[in-house]
């Protein structure tokens, strides 16, 4: 009897760890394929404050600033501000010369959240209708603000744009870009298609100005986008996903940098789970809160991708429910295939697949290795190495 109970308990836990996430990915991926960009003629031209937190971004900040300034939107309806942390004087002068504003900051512990809070303090109470956040390596198209304005149309909502890979020059960069597109399909398009808020991704985001200014100082960790998600749910502000508004983002080229980036995300995510559980009774969108907690409790996707197929193979020889693990594997990889970026063919993925074991080991090191404080800024270098 004890052996039978242990058998069922083991497979129950394995299903929670591997099968439930695979089903989740599949359902939302299929739903996401049905989401289309809504065409809207805005009733007003809102004022935008475009904020670009920049930590030692001297070598790549100018194309981002120039793209943010080069908008078809009326020039008196938007302003671009770089929050410069640790950048050289010459870089600051070049940004000012381009027509953007610069707010220079210095923190004992640099975080994106601290830079954004400083910018809101500096701008004051009525600098705009919406805040737009870009990363210092993002490139936006000339109609970016026009499209944002059309989606927002003066409403009290938030918007997450469609972040895409700017580079695909190493297998790790290709993998990072693919994972982001899968996230766009599952956690953004799929969620909005089923009536849930889109997940945020850290840049290409727009928020009501008064809301963002009112809570900017409340964001404390290196995972400020996840803190924003919880606050938006608590305050009843829906996050729409705009698949037609593209933000081109630099993808990490090496496993070392990918590990640093994912460590920051992983630790901040786990640190926020306790807060999310405590705030659940006060959330206006309780379904969204429950969904968010479920997402954050999933094992990292790279471990799901590597662990589930192995489990399916092993279960053929050890379990009568091997078919369930096999079905879950098929659903997971079907969801990934649905999320592949346009132009990427399965036959071209061999170099990426070769990197998967190393990426899985890096993730395990993040989980079981030396911990980093959740509010520590981990700078991801922009380098051409593999």
Q: How far is residue 233 from each of residues 15, 92, 159, 200, 291, measured CA to CA in Å?
A: 29, 37, 14, 12, 11
109-118, 206-215, 247-256 — most confident range: 206-215
24 three-class SS: helix
Length of the chain, please?
Answer: 386
pLDDT band of residue 118 (cuts 50, 70, 90) is very high
For the cut 70, the answer to whether the pLDDT of residue 203 exceeds it is yes
Orientation angle between helical segments 350-368 and 301-318, nearest 10 degrees: 100
29-43, 150-164, 222-236, 357-371 — most confident range: 150-164
pLDDT value at residue 93? 97
DSSP structure string for 83-146 = EEES--HHHHHHHHHHT-EEEEE--SS--HHHHHHHHHHHH-TTS-SEEEE--TT-EE-TTHHH
State how far the Cα of 346 lies from the Cα of 74, in Å rounded to an integer: 43
Q: How far is residue 237 from each of residues 73, 132, 207, measured CA to CA in Å?
A: 25, 16, 9
More confident residue, 13 or 356: 13
Asked whether the whole model's pTM tops 0.85, one would answer: yes
Q: What is the mean pLDDT of residues 116-144?
A: 96
Q: Are 133 and 51 in contact (CB under 8 A)?
A: yes
More confident residue, 280 or 215: 215
State how far the Cα of 98 lies from the Cα of 119, in Å rounded to an integer: 19
Q: Left (φ > 0), alpha (ψ -120 to 50) or beta: where does 99 sit?
A: left
Q: List pLDDT tens digits, range 252-266.
A: 887 777 667 666 666
281 three-class SS: helix
Q: Which tokens in the block code for residue 169?
A: 């020059």
The residue with tokens 């009326």 is 74
Q: What are residue 303's DSSP bridge partners?
A: none
pLDDT value at residue 354? 81
pLDDT value at residue 1? 57
For the cut 60, the answer to whether the pLDDT of residue 130 exceeds it is yes
Q: What is the mean pLDDT of residues 139-159?
A: 97
pLDDT band of residue 205 (cuts 50, 70, 90) is very high
Q: Are 199 and 191 in contact (CB under 8 A)?
A: yes
Q: Are 41 and 247 in contact (CB under 8 A)?
A: no
Q: List pLDDT tens digits, range 280-331.
A: 777 677 788 889 888 888 988 889 999 999 999 999 988 888 999 999 999 9
Residue 184 is given by DSSP the state I
Q: Are 29 and 186 in contact (CB under 8 A)?
A: yes
More confident residue, 29 or 8: 29
9-23, 209-223, 337-351 — most confident range: 9-23
Q: How far is residue 122 from each of residues 81, 88, 343, measured CA to CA in Å?
A: 11, 21, 44
For the cut 60, the answer to whether the pLDDT of residue 153 exceeds it is yes
Q: Are 66 and 87 in contact (CB under 8 A)?
A: no
The residue with tokens 């697949």 is 353
pLDDT value at residue 94? 97
State how far the Cα of 205 lies from the Cα of 219, in Å rounded to an integer: 16
C-alpha of 153 from chain center: 24
State how far the Cα of 272 lies from the Cα of 278, in Å rounded to an integer: 10
State how far the Cα of 55 lies from the Cα of 110, in Å rounded to an integer: 8
Please give the backbone phi and psi of residue 40, each rounded to the nearest 5 degrees, phi first.
-140, 135
Q: Which of 152, 294, 147 is nearest to 237 (CA)?
A: 152
Q: What is the mean pLDDT of residues 20-27?
A: 97
More confident residue, 129 or 226: 129
The residue with tokens 């659903």 is 331
């Amino acid at each position: 009897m004890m052996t039978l109970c242990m058998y069922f308990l083991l497979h129950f836990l394995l299903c929670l760890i591997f099968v439930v996430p695979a089903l989740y990915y599949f359902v939302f991926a299929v739903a996401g394929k049905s989401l289309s960009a809504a065409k809207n003629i805005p009733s007003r031209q809102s004022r935008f404050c475009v904020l670009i937190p920049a930590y030692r971004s001297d070598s790549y900040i100018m194309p981002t600033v120039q793209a943010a300034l080069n908008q078809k939107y009326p020039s008196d309806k938007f302003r671009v501000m770089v929050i410069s942390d640790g950048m050289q004087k010459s870089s600051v002068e070049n940004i000012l010369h381009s027509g953007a504003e610069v707010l220079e900051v210095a923190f004992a512990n640099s975080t994106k959240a601290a830079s954004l809070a400083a910018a809101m303090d500096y701008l004051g109470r009525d600098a705009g209708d919406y805040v737009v956040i870009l990363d210092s390596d993002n490139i936006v198209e000339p109609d970016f603000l026009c499209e944002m304005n059309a989606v927002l149309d003066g409403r009290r909502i938030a918007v997450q744009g469609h972040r895409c890979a700017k580079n695909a020059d190493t297998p790790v960069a290709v993998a990072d870009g693919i994972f982001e597109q899968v996230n766009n399909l599952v956690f953004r398009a799929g969620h909005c298609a089923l009536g849930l808020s889109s997940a945020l991704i850290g840049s290409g985001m727009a928020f009501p100005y008064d809301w963002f200014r009112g809570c900017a100082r409340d964001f404390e960790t290196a995972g400020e986008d996840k803190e924003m998600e919880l606050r938006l749910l608590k305050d009843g502000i829906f996050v729409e996903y705009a698949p037609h508004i593209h933000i081109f983002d630099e993808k990490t080229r090496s496993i070392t940098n990918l590990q640093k980036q994912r460590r920051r995300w992983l630790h901040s995510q786990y640190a926020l789970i306790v807060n999310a559980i405590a705030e659940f009774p006060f959330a206006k969108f309780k379904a969204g809160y429950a969904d968010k907690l479920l997402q954050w409790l999933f094992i990292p996707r790279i471990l799901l991708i590597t662990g589930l197929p192995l489990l399916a193979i092993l279960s053929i020889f050890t379990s009568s429910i091997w078919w369930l693990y096999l079905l879950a594997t098929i659903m997971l990889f079907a969801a990934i295939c649905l999320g592949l970026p346009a132009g990427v063919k399965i036959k071209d993925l061999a170099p990426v697949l070769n990197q998967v074991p190393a990426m899985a080991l890096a993730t395990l090191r993040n989980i079981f290795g030396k911990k980093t404080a959740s509010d520590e800024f981990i700078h991801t270098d922009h380098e051409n190495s593999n």
